[in-house]
Amino acid sequence: MGRVESLLFPTRKERVEERRKERSHGDVRDEVFDRATLLSVSRLVTQGFFQEVDFSISTGKEANVFRVSGPKGFAALKVYRVSNAVFRRFPPWALEDLYRTAGPGSFGRLVFAWARREFNALKRCHDSSVPVPRPRVQWRNLLLMDLVGDAEGRAAQPMIRTPLEDPARTLKELEKGVRAMSTRARLVHGDLSPYNVLMHEQHPILIDLGQTLPVEHPQAAGLLLRDATNFARYFRRFGVDCEPQEIYRRMGGRPTP
């Protein structure tokens, strides 16, 4: 296993910033990459999807995202944690779907079904021209997708940490993207917030689609309205005149009586 780690995780970086990221990455690596996950990563390397795991891009409650690189450039590798604790925060509709998909067996199957669920949602959205990262491959608890970032491999930051040049325009683009998701892909995000919208060259990109649900689901309309209400509150901080019901309608929600 030592040889696999040495191939996947380079120990030297030329730039000071990358060396700093690598030190923090080492701590995250020890937490996330158990033996089974390392073998899964090695499989993707062997298949030519990438060559190296560079450093951690983001650390979440349920998964970590790493920048990876190879001859074809940069990509983002999402590694889902194999732990019971992460599923305690999952809403009932997502858990029901995961149990139905995974079937009886080990807890690992539940995690793999979760990764496959997000991969399928990303593919469905990408094929429907929703602004999401393009998914490349999913294997066990790994999901590889396009890196949202610049040509040098610097990852885009979440909306919550990005100064908005034109908040009103950003809101309109966000509404358009979510509308495409609800009307074309026929999905509702289920947990949308300024924390899981990336800003790439001042354009919003939707991420973290593991909790999506079909628009026909009884809770879909309520969750979309909740997201609209949260974004109305957020954009009002920037002086944008917006109402939750109007945002909800422009996101594809049906008017309420």
CATH topology of domain 2-146: Phosphorylase Kinase; domain 1 (3.30.200)
Residue 191 annotated to the active site: yes
How is the chain split into domains, by residue range?
2-146, 157-250
Tell the residue number behind the tokens 């090695």, with chain if given: 42
Q: How confident is the model at residue 206 (pLDDT cuts 50, 70, 90)?
A: very high
Pick the catalytic residue: 30, 97, 150, 208? 208
Q: pLDDT for 223-244, tens place per residue?
A: 999 999 999 999 999 999 999 9
For the domain 157-250, what is the CATH superfamily, name and number?
Transferase(Phosphotransferase) domain 1 (1.10.510.10)
Predicted local confidence at residue 102, as pLDDT = 64
Q: Which amino acid is at 225?
A: L
Same fold, 2-146 and 157-250: no
Q: Which pLDDT score, from 0 to 100, does residue 108 have?
A: 66
Which of 54, 97, 191, 227 is labelled catalytic?
191
**Hey, what are 3's tokens?**
């040889």
* Catalytic residue list contains 208: yes
- Burial of 237 per CB tally in 10 Å (0-12, 13-18, 19+): exposed
pLDDT tens digit sequence for 143-200: 999 999 999 999 999 999 999 999 999 999 999 999 999 999 999 998 899 999 999 9
- Amino acid making up residue 84: N
Contacts of 67 (CB under 8 A, 6+ apart): 53, 54, 55, 56, 57, 74, 75, 76, 77, 147, 153, 155
